[in-house]
Amino acid sequence: MYTRTFGLREKPFTISPNPRFLFLSRHHLEALEHLRYGIQERMGFVVVTGEVGTGKTTLLRSLLESISSETDTAFVFNTRITAKQLLKQILTDLGLDAAGLEKDEMVEALNEFLLRQLGASRNTVVVIDEAQNLGAEVLEELRLLSNLETSQAKLLQIVLVGQPELNALLNLPKLRQLRQRITVMYHLQPLSLEETGEYIRHRLRVAGSERDLFTPEAVQGIHYYARGFPRLVNILCDRALLAAYADDKTQVDRPLVDEVQREMEVPFTETAGATSTPDPSAPPGLPVAAAGGNGTGPLLALPEDLQTRLRKLDGIEDDVKEIRATLKNLENLLNFSLWVDRNV
């Protein structure tokens, strides 16, 4: 493996949300402060949104690790569930017995628990990751749970974290009452170029590296292709280190980053007749200009058998998208079981 060659104790760019590698960019720090503030000040609903791979789950894990000892937490990560399943999970996480209880009974048990918490000066938080998948009916149930309050504070804090679709969901007219209760909101932005450099150096340092393994130009390329999304930065950096190791290089430079990015797109570019050199000004994530590079024209003039093969490629592309989605689900499951291993 490349770790030993580069003086690393472990792989620096794995894609599990490991709080040990936490790097607080300005936006990450602000998001964390919003979360902490909403919980500590017992504000009721707190919402954090961000695109896939911006670091939401990583932040949640670090929030849960650092939450005060006077706070009890329920963590919901599987959000394709009914209101009854949600209640059951919340009760179980809070250490309450939910076996055989109907929905109303579970709400009652939770309310009694919250009042006991109030008596013991304890706070209670329900954290929901991937909240964009919750049904409107489930969200409405959450609103009802948040009704319990004293004159100054909510007895239950509810943290909703999700992809930007969560905002659209919360804007539905039927969720108007819930929307009015959201007191703290934050949208997590990707890393800037400078932050991407700091992020890469930070992860390398945590993994034990004492020197810059990426040239400034390589960092620029990674930021350009990954658009500042930490998950993509990790994938590119990992592949680039592997490629540098394979090429006997001591550092990752820009041409290597370009090569790695190109290789990751091979199935969709080469067969479509692309040249092997990408256009550095091309928007990241897009295949290199197809068939000669002047738009859609040449593709239409391709011979019949090539057109058939291109149609097949379209089909394969859809399959790959589906496989990626399945892998993502598996990754979530794995992350969760790792989390359980560490915390339970």
Ligand X SMILES: Nc1ncnc2c1ncn2[C@@H]1O[C@H](COP(=O)(O)OP(=O)(O)O)[C@@H](O)[C@H]1O
Binding-site size for Mg ion (CB under 5 A) equals 2
Nearest to 201 by CA among 193, 209, 190: 209
Q: Which does 28 bind (CB under 5 to 8 A by kind): ligand X, Mg ion, none?
A: ligand X
Three-state DSSP state, 30: helix
**Lookup: tokens for 108:** 């009652």
Strands 182-188 and 71-76: unpaired
Q: Which residue is nearest to ligand X (CB)?
A: 55
Give kind and range of the element (H or E) at residue 62. helix 56-66
Q: What is the dihedral of CA 323, 324, 325, 326, to 10 degrees?
A: 50
Cα 34-37-38 angle, rounded to 5 deg = 85
Residue 19 CB partners (closer than 8 Å, separation 6+):
58, 61, 62, 65
d(CA 292, CA 274): 7
Nearest distance, CB of residue 314 and ligand X, angstroms? 27
CB-based burial label for 100 (10 Å; 0-12, 13-18, 19+): exposed
Q: Which does 21 bind (CB under 5 to 8 A by kind): ligand X, Mg ion, none?
A: ligand X
Indicate whether 22 belongs to the interface with ligand X (CB under 6 A).
yes
- The mark string for 212-231 relative to ligand X (x by CB under 6 A, - otherwise) is ------------------xx
Indicate whether 15 belongs to the interface with ligand X (CB under 6 A).
yes
Indicate whether 234 belongs to the interface with Mg ion (CB under 5 A).
no
Determine which residue in the list 34, 42, 56, 179 makes contact with ligand X, applying CB under 6 A: 56
Nearest distance, CB of residue 26 and ligand X, angstroms? 11
Nearest to 220 by CA among 188, 262, 257: 257
Binding-site size for ligand X (CB under 6 A) equals 19
Cα 43-60-155 angle, rounded to 5 deg = 25
Indicate whether 144 belongs to the interface with ligand X (CB under 6 A).
no
Determine which residue in the list 57, 124, 132, 335 makes contact with Mg ion, applying CB under 5 A: 57
Nearest distance, CB of residue 128 and Mg ion, angstroms? 11
Indicate whether 236 belongs to the interface with ligand X (CB under 6 A).
no
Q: Which does 261 bind (CB under 5 to 8 A by kind): ligand X, Mg ion, none?
A: none
Nearest distance, CB of residue 60 and ligand X, angstroms? 8
* Positions 35 through 54 that interact with ligand X (CB under 6 A): 50, 52-54
**Binding site residues, Mg ion, CB under 5 A:** 56-57
**Binding site residues, ligand X, CB under 6 A:** 15-18, 21-23, 28, 50, 52-58, 230-231, 234
